[in-house]
Structure 1
Amino acid sequence: MSTYVLIHGGGDGGWSWHLVAAELRARGHEVVAPDLPGDDASATLTDYADAVVEAVGDRTDLVVVGHSFGGFTAPLVADRLAAGLLVMVAAMIPAPGESPGDWGSNTGCGEAVRAQAARDGGRTGHADPFVGFYHDVPRPLAEKALSKERAHPSPAAMREPWPLDAWPDIPTRFVLCREDRCFPPDFLRGLAAERLGLVPDEIAAGHCVALSRPTELADLLESYR
């Protein structure tokens, strides 16, 4: 039995993982999916990592999973807790000293979004969250997710340089969503190769894969163990 540590993305809370968590618990694992500090303009990346570490407590055999903006927090947690595995799901991949606020311009994400939008009729990067984020999530579930939206990350966290000197020396996998309208698939394939030296595993889903394809995502996570 492992403990899965599930770290949510921007605007989300631990609830965003509830379907995946149920799948993993049904397979005999423990799951920790905390709410990171929200509605706190001074909260830092270190504060986010602290909140996860506190929630994990003395649990062992850890698989740390970060989604989207959680990619800035998950490696910090995995490094501090000496996790056995780190999994990035449709996630931002930080470089040492890079702030989240600079990540988009440093990586060329904005240009990639505009290029993909030109090819798909403007669906990528669309301002309507039901188009740009939740397009493959059942509408009632997407509406519930929006009702739980929080002010996270904070302005302070967006300005903070990522504090690690290098990527943690921990086995790392990357899950790419082929229908992602937030981070275009071709963009993330290139970034995973450049920054992690990885070929991602791919799943037919949009950005919010934990809500749209929870069983398939749980299957993939389990295959890594």
Structure 2
Amino acid sequence: MALIALLLVFAISMGWHKYLSLDVLTQQSAHLRLLVETKPWLVIGCYVAIYILATTIALPGAIWITIAGGFLFGPMLGPFLGPIVATALASTSATIGATMLFFATRSALGDGLRAQAGGFIDRLEKGFQENAFGYLLTLRLLPVAPFFGINLAAGFLGIQLRTFILATAIGILPGCYVYASLGNGIEHLLEQGQKPDLKIIYSPEILIPLLGLATLALLPSIWRFVQSRLKPS
């Protein structure tokens, strides 16, 4: 955790987070597109490495890396395949980075802070473990909590690694696809004098299906709650 914190401080002090912006993406668009055409595998490797690092250290503005994926790979692979490939790269990279932060949190903070927190954490962990996959999947699907915050909380509560990876990989797919598709259409938006709306995921046509998926993920917990209420006292 100390190393991750130092890397974050170093990255911010060097101004790396300032490169994760619309202005830099558009200013460097010609150069980046040329790299994609001439050295596609190098670009993919750098893209994945940067995404993993940004996710691991919780670098602000990492959402622009997802958008950049659609921007870079859309023209090369087409409007249909481009966002799909960008989504796959982004979700895989984000899951790896999240898992690294999850490991660091669990190893560094788990035992000491949990012992000090006492019964409250024990009760919280017990309730979460009843449907850890459903709860975590819901938090990944809905834009209600910071991505890095969920990683920290999951490590603190001792969620199983398999559950964490599976819920994360599945849960972030819709959001990754939305922002990769947004990146794929950035040039069209700029030509019309518009800027990409980063709050697009809160629009009803996207948020309502996500709420439906989240409800399905929580059905086991909802059913247990209903059964507990129906039991005679």
**TM-score (normalised: structure 2):** 0.24
Max Rg structure: 2
More strand by share: 1
**TM-score (normalised: structure 1):** 0.25
More helix by share: 2
